[in-house]
Structure 1
Amino acid sequence: MNFSEPSSDAGRITVTHSRDGRVATVLIDRPRKLNALTLELLNDLYSELRTIDHSDAQVVLITTAGEKAFCVGADIAQFSCFRPAQMWRRWIREGHRVFSYLAQLRQPTIAVVDGIAVGGGLELALACDLRIGANTARLGLPETGLGTVPGWGGTERLTQVVGAARAKEMIFTRRQVPSATALDWGLLNAVSERSALADTVTEFIDRILEGAPAAVQVSKQLVDAAAAGAPSAILEALGSGFAAGTDDFAAGVTAFRNKTTPTFTGS
């Protein structure tokens, strides 16, 4: 896999997705603008996510084009034109709508962070379940330097991942956290040389795909519910009851008893 090759027409704004077996890859393709996000691009991203949501894909990758930046966040040329009421009614709400949809996908999602991820770009990565970065990655929320605040879930999701004190540090100081620090803080799940990034991502994908698809997806929902304060004793009972009725559960138990590798079908 090669996650960040720029397109032949790098000036256009596109969001596409492709399928490789059970893996869906979303590509934000605007490298000349460092994959800056516009309302049009967000709408295209939403459309692609809806298609994936209704597919049989089991893992979703969020990738971007170019070598310099994963995503630098909002397109300032568009962002700066919004009046206060427009900012409230449209810009912030649209970003939340799209990123919340991404966060709530039933499939596990992985952001492949190759280069700088700042502002809305970091918020995009935070909306994914896992983040795997090249050793050149740098992550930050610089909004206070523009006289504004993180607007697409950064204050909430960053705090959930790194804790309140580190989130405040990143927001107050606009510090761009290098990949090694991001890994230590849990902001990245893994870091590799850029040349080995695809292999590292593939290792994660392969391990996820070894699990029963429904069990993996229900586990994701349970973890997200727990993070929101839902009682695990109730939800895990419901999730376990559901899993116990699947063909994959029967296949897993049989394989365990026979000391063989189970074949899961997602049913």
Structure 2
Amino acid sequence: MEPYIIEKRSDNYILFTINRHEKRNAISFEVMDGLEKAINLAKEQNVKALVITGAGESAFCSGGDLSVFHGLKTEEQAYGMLSKMSNILYRLLTLEIPTVALMNGVAVGGGCELAISCDYRIAKEGIKAGFVQGYLAITSGWGGGTMLVEKMQSNHAEQMLMEAKLNHTDKLLQIGFIDSVYSGDSLEACEQFLKNMTDKQVEVLKAYKSILIRKWEQSNLKGRIDEEVRRCAVLWADEAHHEAVANFIAKK
């Protein structure tokens, strides 16, 4: 089974699905490559939106695949993986068209970093989401913490990062992490959310998105993300992280 699915939908958007239901749609190196392909395709085909979701109904994305990434022990090894994904998420963040995280299930750790990289987050009623990296003795390492502070009210963002707990949709909506809550069919809800954007000319959408991109470039957002990645790589190599991950895996 392919680890991801890329589809061009009739409504002129690209749908990227993490297709690892048995792994709660955890991100592997193959999923990273697929996400980069979807971003490239969105640019090449001049579509009006890119939507990211997870297979099944239980998880949007459970973060990095610990069964794979737990093998990364040193700061250098960790930085290679972290910087690869952070560069992909920065490309997603600065894609010139609207992007949507269609959160059809729980979003944990790196799953929240993927979600905050998108312009909008639409969540299924009753799901939970949280930056839980603190329980593994690391920080967000793909740039998601920096993006969260950039996009949300700073006190809410810092609390979400430091508490490292899962929050329900009502709380996530209240603090501004998600933009909309839906019930029923996820794609129908997403298309309904996007319809007043995708009925505009693509060049209009790109022109408005470029306002945000210029702001991020002028404030050195990429440099701030790189610093976040480097700090996480240092923590990753610490024995406290390796012990926390080993204990987590043993409990599963």
Q: For the superposition of Structure 1 and Structure 2, which TM-score range results when normalised by the shorter chain?
A: 0.7 to 0.9
Looking at both structures, which has the greater relative contact order when contacts are Cα pairs under 8 Å and sequence separation is at least 6? 2
Bigger proportion of residues as helix: 2
Verify the 8 A CA contact 2:61 2:111 in the aligned structure 1: yes
Change in Cα spacing, 1:198 to 1:53, as seen in structure 2 (3 Å) is: same
**1: distance between equivalents of 2:3 and 2:188?**
28
CA contact (8 A) 2:105 2:127 kept: yes
- Indicate the residue corresponding to 2:249 in structure 1: none
Give the alignment partner of residue 168 of structure 2, picking from 156, 178, 181.
Answer: 178
Q: Say how many residue pairs are matched.
A: 218
| 1:192, distance to aligned residue in structure 2 (A) | 1.6
What TM-score do you get using the length of structure 2 for normalisation?
0.81
1:143 matches 2:133: yes
Tell me which of 134, 155, 165 is aligned to 1:165: 155
> Is the CA contact (8 Å cut-off) linking 2:63 and 2:112 kept in structure 1?
yes
Q: Is 1:33 aligned to 2:23, yes or no?
A: yes
Whichever residue aligns with residue 13 of structure 2, its letter is V
Q: CA deviation at 1:131?
A: 0.8
Aligned to 2:57: 67
- Deviation for aligned residue 1:182: 1.1
Cα 1:36–1:137 change in 2 (3 A) is same
RMSD: 1.7
- Within 2, Cα distance between the matches of 1:87 and 1:94? 10
| Matched residue type, 2:136 | L
What percent of counterpart residues are identical?
A: 24
**Which residue does the alignment assign to 1:237?**
none
Aligned counterparts of 2:187 and 2:5: Cα–Cα separation in 1: 20
Residue identity opposite 1:150 in structure 2: S
From the CA coordinates, give the structure whose radius of gyration is larger: 1
Aligned equivalents of 1:217 and 1:81: distance in 2? 40
In structure 2, the residue matched to 1:217 is 206
CA distance in 1, matches of 2:4, 2:177: 27
Q: 1:110 aligned to 2:100?
A: yes
> By how many angstroms is 1:92 displaced?
0.8
In the alignment, which residue of structure 1 is the partner of 2:215?
A: 226
Distance 2:51 2:34 in 1: 16
Aligned AA (1:42): M
Distance in 2 between the 1:44 and 1:24 partners?
13
2:81 to 83, 91, 114: 91
**Structure 1 position 217, deviation (Å):** 1.2
Structure 1 unaligned blocks of 5 or more: 1-8, 231-267
Match in the other structure for 1:120: 110
| Structure 2 residue corresponding to 1:19, chosen from 9, 21, 41 | 9
In the TM superposition, what whole-angstrom CA distance separates every residue of 1:59-113 from its partner, at most 9, and x where no partner exists? 111111011110000001111111221112x111111121111112111111100
Q: Are the equivalent residues in 1 in contact too, given 2:20–2:55 (CA < 8 A)?
A: yes
Are the structure 2 counterparts of residues 78 and 136 from structure 1 closer, same or farther at C-alpha, using a change threshold of 3 Å?
same
**Whole-angstrom CA distance in 2 between matches of 1:27 and 1:184:** 27
Amino acid at match of 2:77: Q
Give the SS at the match of 1:16.
strand
Normalised to the residue count of structure 1, the TM-score between the two structures is 0.76
- Which of 175, 199, 205 aligns to 2:188? It is 199
CA distance in 1, matches of 2:11, 2:4: 23
Deviation for aligned residue 1:196: 4.7
Q: Look up the match of 1:264.
A: none
Segments of structure 2 that go 5 or more residues without pairing to the other structure are 220-252
Letter of the structure 2 residue corresponding to residue 87 of structure 1: A
- Partners of 2:187 and 2:182 in 1: CA distance: 9
Change (3 A) 1:93 1:227: closer
State the 1:119 CA deviation: 0.9
